Structure 1
């Protein structure tokens, strides 16, 4: 072997865990408004603090919320909808107390300190909109009670009216289990909003309602516009007297128009899907430009497409966009702002011209300077599986200074996204490069139940969680080995949350993996149902096909903890102490059980971390631990 021929998985790489963690910004909401772009960003280097930022076309970037202010909502535990800009002010939810604040915007930044609008220690806010004519905000609110226990007093979700003059906030709309997307018509006379009830998740059955707003702000004459009955609505937006929204009535999310006293009309028929799973508030797959057009971002069989839709003529003009994944899009005053990534661009905030083309990157999520030789565009795979074809993105090992032994196949990491109602975004991801630059292949698997392939693909998982997704994962590993993409003796599986659940079930029911890594993965479904929060209280009923009361044996059969005696695969578990979605007891239980039977297991706990790690030191340590674990198995 020459000096550049080295064992796969042991290549030297300049992409360190510390560099990946230090620059790993997470972007929340993005909003184009008044000729500027605003966004929130979670900073691992500041222990997850989330300031709101502003960019202007002159190129200046201003931090509007200095430390210790942090814009983050915890409604539904996952949050989103943490700020909005309207009427010359920034309105935001402060992470520390979950109350609403306002700061007047100036050319230099924002007034400090912000003015407090609510002081309610038991109530969290999100997804607010300005009702300028009535000098108030309308927002989603979630009120928690001190006596809350699972099966006892659950949080109360509603839409609230929050006056800007400091007078008392009050409930505006209640009666459903959940609310989202309150949107007021331009003339202030109508309020549109989404609502749904347990046991459903928003992508299962969110309904769209519209009611009349009286001069005093009360709501009456509420009518259901669309949704429910096995369909779901998403992202209502007003344009004049018309309300536009996404509805998957025909199995894929398309754009619909509604006007008062008329039935809704479908106005797009896309080869793709505009619907996004409403895990967090304020997601957007389309944006109105104000000149009778809508900028669309939709997904066609896992691939992101961009188009400009003419609301008057119905004409659809494809746009040449370099982005392979888009999280949100916003348009105002000729500015199109989005959160996206590309094969050669990490997650970023970008501004693009209305007709598409080369965008201006105004904020990068990663500070890593990556040489082109470390970047290899992914190969899209269609993988045969018992549940039907499943899809994945394979990222090959890439390092200009190293290559594997002649004729050898690399080790492979099969990565399982969370949710499970979600998908793996295509693009330049520092965590993926951390491994591929060291000689690992990486496969992002969109197993059955993933979004971006239409409702039928997503519904494959209903009643089959822990079976269909596991079969897809095993099929992907076997396909990669048979295709020469992976060494069959060195295939690993990793996932977080629901992805961790599938990884655990994969090693509990098969022996195809050399090792597994679970980030806060679900090990015990009965335990999860006892401790889960209100938002996901009915989720397992859909995913498993029965309630735990009706069929506890089903919940046991789909739990990795039940199958500990069958697990022989080495496992590393990474868990936050403050996780309210998957408490640490889940990971501890399976770690203790495996130790008792002599299976190699490593358990690592991170103080103060919740569901999804936010701190740079945690992200760095997890990457190093995961790499060391895999390498020890390659040589052990």
Structure 2
């Protein structure tokens, strides 16, 4: 029998522990000799990233158990952390280990083998970092190396290097072969089929990799060092995001000279042809090094991701055709062999699974199961994909998740509270996949709407660049417009709207609470709060994003007034209501200094607030106990501010 109870008070079978159990993540799926390999974050093991594979008998085996943590901090977001190389001793797995950031080698087929380092031990902790690993010639591992050159967060230099699998570099730093250093930022190099050339993508400050990059090609000289490079695609207003060799004389590249990431064939002479022109995003932003949005099937056919949906591009007909599958959203980790596609895919009620798709038969096989504590589908919300109109008539895409619990209904006439979820990046996007955090709220009678505000990816360069010099304006305005539209149509209670987000989403949440009066309260997670500090000169962020704000806000010193005016750190006196701040204490991207100052400025102002910090957490929360504590605190916070009593979480203490 359905019970009648106010929104926010519904009893839910989805606990914070369930959300934490589903809070891991599959990543870096690949194929080696027909076998599927992948990495996976394990919240119950402190967020350790394990490496697993499917053996020939079809059983899943963890290749590297604790304490090995297959992760790296290149660009602080990390990059492809493993590869399989063939050596005289057989197949070996090369991988980066989080604790010391060194590269290790271990026998692929010997479960008893112990990893041994093949990169040197740096003089300072994490002084060398490696990512985008791939096999090189002559028993080498090719990769990107970051070197810490000084005490500042921006004191970092990068080279493309070769590490000998012999282990010589582990004891002799001179054994590391520096291949080239063409740009301040680079992807790992890829060798041509004939072994004569290498190709990679490079870019320099102040560009971000979705602004402008260059596709570089160089001959491989004597001793393996690259000769002078030439740029064959890309530029200041063109962003190549993936490159693969298509034979010894040509490349396949995802790039966007016409404003959309399409697939091109690029000759070594710089000639380029769009294989299927379309106003569709077949690529994405390079937040991590090593993503793959396309893979070649042969005979002029390629699997691609059309804004996350699997499709096949056919050169002969110049078409891109969706592939109908039960799991519609795929990660950018595509690999193919003999007409079979492998990757990580998910759906609105399904966590990501490693899957194999036979394109000839359409058979989709899940190689990994769902989490043991996955909630009953009856309690999971189904997203409603909608478009809203902004104040200037621009279209704003969003996913709406109304309150949903088969055991409860609200009293007649009551409107539900709603939380606006702001994704990070801001060059990111929300996709319609299962998020147990969202279900945690909707099953208790709290609506959620995830907004792909101007600046989000998946809608072309023009939409992405709506945020150029408008961060803190367009994002705030778009999110508020969606919240207010839901209230105007009678879907949400206009007096009980909240905003939440992490990283850049934390910025927008804080900027919203200090510039508009749409929301009663806000949850601000590992945020940017002071624009001047979040620059290379300010010293409060890492090298990769240290000049990001020049495009998002403006160039200093000309835009200094804009930096001051928009920063929530300088607008604490204009807060519209209570705030909850959540912060990892080892965060190098959005360090705790900014949140510390913001909370200190709140003291004594009479605004209810709470500030929770978490030891051992970097940017984003990975540990099960952190995820549980953060969700429980957030629910209690909403209950106290929006006027309901949650059923099953401890009361969060709010200060004034």
The TM-score with structure 2 as length reference comes to 0.92
User: Which residue of structure 1 lines up, in the alignment, with residue 618 of structure 2?
Assistant: 610
Q: Secondary structure at the match of 2:13?
A: coil
Shift of 1:307: 1.6
Q: Would the aligned equivalents of 1:20 and 1:366 in 2 still touch at CA under 8 Å?
A: no
Note if 1:405 corresponds to 2:414.
Answer: no
Shift of 1:206: 1.3
Listed one character per residue, the Cα deviations across residues 76-104 of structure 1 (whole Å, up to 9, x for unaligned) are: 11102111124322111111111111222
Cα distance, 1:620–1:289 mapped onto 2, change above 3 Å: same
Tell me which of 188, 200, 204 is aligned to 1:197.
204
Counterparts of residues 158-307 of structure 1 (less than 5 Å): 158-167=159-168, 168-241=175-248, 242-261=250-269, 263-290=271-298, 292-299=300-307, 304-307=308-311
Deviates most, 365-374 or 448-457: 365-374
Note if 1:482 corresponds to 2:488.
Answer: yes
Q: Would the aligned equivalents of 2:340 and 2:358 in 1 still touch at CA under 8 Å?
A: yes
Note if 1:396 corresponds to 2:379.
Answer: no
User: Which residue of structure 1 lines up, in the alignment, with residue 433 of structure 2?
Assistant: 427
User: Which residue of structure 1 lines up, in the alignment, with residue 23 of structure 2?
Assistant: 24
User: Which residue of structure 2 lines up, in the alignment, with residue 585 of structure 1?
Assistant: 593
Tell me which of 530, 533, 537 is aligned to 2:542.
533
Cα distance, 1:365–1:564 mapped onto 2, change above 3 Å: farther
Tell me which of 441, 465, 468 is aligned to 1:462.
468
Residues in 2 aligned to 1:550 and 1:506: alpha-carbon distance in whole angstroms? 24
Residues in 2 aligned to 1:333 and 1:57: alpha-carbon distance in whole angstroms? 17
Q: Would the aligned equivalents of 1:26 and 1:365 in 2 still touch at CA under 8 Å?
A: no
Note if 1:366 corresponds to 2:366.
Answer: no
Shift of 1:221: 4.2
Shift of 1:358: 5.1
Shift of 1:376: 3.1
Q: Would the aligned equivalents of 2:428 and 2:456 in 1 still touch at CA under 8 Å?
A: yes
Shift of 1:27: 2.1
Note if 1:574 corresponds to 2:582.
Answer: yes
Q: Would the aligned equivalents of 2:520 and 2:576 in 1 still touch at CA under 8 Å?
A: no
Note if 1:85 corresponds to 2:84.
Answer: yes
Cα distance, 1:236–1:608 mapped onto 2, change above 3 Å: same
Q: Secondary structure at the match of 1:488?
A: coil
Q: Would the aligned equivalents of 1:568 and 1:599 in 2 still touch at CA under 8 Å?
A: no
Residues in 2 aligned to 1:448 and 1:237: alpha-carbon distance in whole angstroms? 31
Tell me which of 330, 349, 352 is aligned to 1:347.
352
Q: Would the aligned equivalents of 2:283 and 2:305 in 1 still touch at CA under 8 Å?
A: no
Cα distance, 1:48–1:6 mapped onto 2, change above 3 Å: same
User: Which residue of structure 1 lines up, in the alignment, with residue 323 of structure 2?
Assistant: 319
Cα distance, 1:364–1:510 mapped onto 2, change above 3 Å: farther
Residues in 1 aligned to 2:237 and 2:547: alpha-carbon distance in whole angstroms? 15
Listed one character per residue, the Cα deviations across residues 470-490 of structure 1 (whole Å, up to 9, x for unaligned) are: 111111110110122211111
Q: Secondary structure at the match of 2:190?
A: strand
Note if 1:376 corresponds to 2:381.
Answer: yes
Q: Secondary structure at the match of 1:120?
A: coil
Q: Would the aligned equivalents of 1:272 and 1:454 in 2 still touch at CA under 8 Å?
A: yes
Shift of 1:550: 3.2
Cα distance, 1:484–1:380 mapped onto 2, change above 3 Å: same
Note if 1:148 corresponds to 2:151.
Answer: yes
User: Which residue of structure 1 lines up, in the alignment, with residue 44 of structure 2?
Assistant: 45
Residues in 1 aligned to 2:182 and 2:293: alpha-carbon distance in whole angstroms? 28
Q: Would the aligned equivalents of 1:75 and 1:126 in 2 still touch at CA under 8 Å?
A: yes
User: Which residue of structure 2 lines up, in the alignment, with residue 157 of structure 1?
Assistant: 158
Residues in 1 aligned to 2:74 and 2:54: alpha-carbon distance in whole angstroms? 27
Q: Would the aligned equivalents of 2:517 and 2:576 in 1 still touch at CA under 8 Å?
A: yes
User: Which residue of structure 2 lines up, in the alignment, with residue 114 of structure 1?
Assistant: 115
Q: Would the aligned equivalents of 1:579 and 1:611 in 2 still touch at CA under 8 Å?
A: yes
Q: Would the aligned equivalents of 1:347 and 1:429 in 2 still touch at CA under 8 Å?
A: no
Shift of 1:297: 1.0
Listed one character per residue, the Cα deviations across residues 489-516 of structure 1 (whole Å, up to 9, x for unaligned) are: 1111000010010011111011221211
Shift of 1:293: 2.4
Q: Would the aligned equivalents of 2:159 and 2:180 in 1 still touch at CA under 8 Å?
A: yes
Residues in 1 aligned to 2:67 and 2:32: alpha-carbon distance in whole angstroms? 25
User: Which residue of structure 1 lines up, in the alignment, with residue 143 of structure 2?
Assistant: 139
User: Which residue of structure 1 lines up, in the alignment, with residue 447 of structure 2?
Assistant: 441
Residues in 2 aligned to 1:189 and 1:587: alpha-carbon distance in whole angstroms? 51
Unmatched 5+ residue regions in structure 2?
Answer: 169-174, 645-656
Q: Secondary structure at the match of 2:534?
A: helix
Residues in 2 aligned to 1:561 and 1:65: alpha-carbon distance in whole angstroms? 44
Counterparts of residues 93-104 of structure 1 (less than 5 Å): 93-104=96-107
Q: Would the aligned equivalents of 1:186 and 1:238 in 2 still touch at CA under 8 Å?
A: yes
C-alpha RMSD over aligned residues:
1.8
Residues in 2 aligned to 1:623 and 1:514: alpha-carbon distance in whole angstroms? 19
Q: Secondary structure at the match of 1:554?
A: helix
Shift of 1:608: 1.4
Q: How many pairs were matched up?
A: 624
Unmatched 5+ residue regions in structure 1?
Answer: none
The TM-score with structure 1 as length reference comes to 0.95
Residues in 2 aligned to 1:386 and 1:437: alpha-carbon distance in whole angstroms? 32
Deviates most, 338-347 or 601-610: 338-347
User: Which residue of structure 1 lines up, in the alignment, with residue 172 of structure 2?
Assistant: none
Listed one character per residue, the Cα deviations across residues 39-74 of structure 1 (whole Å, up to 9, x for unaligned) are: 111111111111110014643101001111111010
Cα distance, 1:423–1:475 mapped onto 2, change above 3 Å: same
Q: Secondary structure at the match of 1:475?
A: helix
Note if 1:331 corresponds to 2:336.
Answer: yes
Q: Secondary structure at the match of 1:294?
A: strand
User: Which residue of structure 1 lines up, in the alignment, with residue 648 of structure 2?
Assistant: none
Cα distance, 1:527–1:268 mapped onto 2, change above 3 Å: same
User: Which residue of structure 1 lines up, in the alignment, with residue 652 of structure 2?
Assistant: none
User: Which residue of structure 2 lines up, in the alignment, with residue 105 of structure 1?
Assistant: 108
Q: Would the aligned equivalents of 1:346 and 1:427 in 2 still touch at CA under 8 Å?
A: yes
User: Which residue of structure 2 lines up, in the alignment, with residue 598 of structure 1?
Assistant: 606
Residues in 2 aligned to 1:123 and 1:364: alpha-carbon distance in whole angstroms? 36
